[in-house]
């Protein structure tokens, strides 16, 4: 089983889903994507997560990020589970859930950890850029639900730093100051960032977020 690392090409796949057969690359098109796995259908934490994801879809849409979930159960099971999610979470699931009964996709993405369970996927998250490279991997234990505010924050950082020579500091949120890339001299940074450069240390320079 191959291990996926940051910067690797995200494996493409075609699989059945809650909305029929779907190809991952075709679904993403030229946008960003987020793929997140769930241990199984009709599990309590996953039910809350998929409900939260549905409520966040508008925020992901604003960022040109398409969502896709995965569980090792089948499409018929997904359809029944979605009814429960919609009812209990007061939402409407509005993105595909991959049916991975043969564990083909789970194996491609190393979502099954034998130390956790040989049959169930862990709570993995993959964020994929338009060039289909993997930009983020987070794996949670089955007992811990994901924080979708954090996933949006990371996407904001990834999209900002993909197009500007900056990095985001600890606990950064949209609209806050960012770090100037160490590869740029302070003199060049002042030309590149007309909003101003604050030099705290020669290696630690801050500037207002450049894309707002």
Residues belonging to the active site: 46
How many other C-beta atoms can be found within 10 angstroms of the C-beta atom of residue 148? Answer: 18
Q: What is the DSSP code string of 126-163?
A: EEE-TTSBEEEEEEE-TTS---HHHHHHHHHHHHHHHH
Please give the structure tokens belonging to residue 201. Answer: 């240390």
For residues 83 and 35, give the distance between their C-alpha atoms in angstroms, rounded to a whole number. Answer: 21
Please give the structure tokens belonging to residue 88. Answer: 């209990």
For residues 49 and 148, give the distance between their C-alpha atoms in angstroms, rounded to a whole number. Answer: 8
């Amino acid at each position: 089983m191959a291990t996926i690392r940051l910067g690797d090409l995200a494996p493409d796949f075609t699989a059945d889903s809650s909305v029929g057969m779907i190809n991952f690359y075709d679904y993403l098109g030229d946008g960003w994507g987020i793929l997140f796995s769930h241990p199984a259908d009709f599990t309590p934490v996953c039910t809350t997560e998929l409900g939260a994801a549905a409520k966040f879809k508008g925020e992901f849409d604003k960022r040109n990020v398409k969502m896709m979930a995965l569980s090792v159960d089948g499409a018929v099971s997904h359809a029944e589970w979605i009814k429960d999610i919609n009812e209990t979470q007061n939402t409407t699931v509005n993105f595909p859930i991959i049916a991975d009964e043969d564990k083909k996709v789970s194996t491609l993405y190393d979502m099954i950890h034998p130390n956790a369970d040989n049959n169930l996927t862990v709570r993995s998250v993959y964020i994929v850029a338009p060039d289909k490279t993997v930009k983020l991997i987070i794996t949670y234990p089955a007992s811990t639900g994901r924080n979708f505010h954090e996933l949006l924050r990371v996407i904001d950082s990834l999209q900002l730093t993909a197009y500007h020579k900056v990095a985001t500091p600890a606990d950064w949120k949209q609209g806050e100051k960012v770090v100037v890339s160490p590869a740029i001299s302070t003199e060049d940074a002042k030309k590149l960032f007309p909003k101003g450069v604050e030099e705290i240390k020669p290696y630690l320079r801050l500037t207002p977020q450049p894309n707002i």
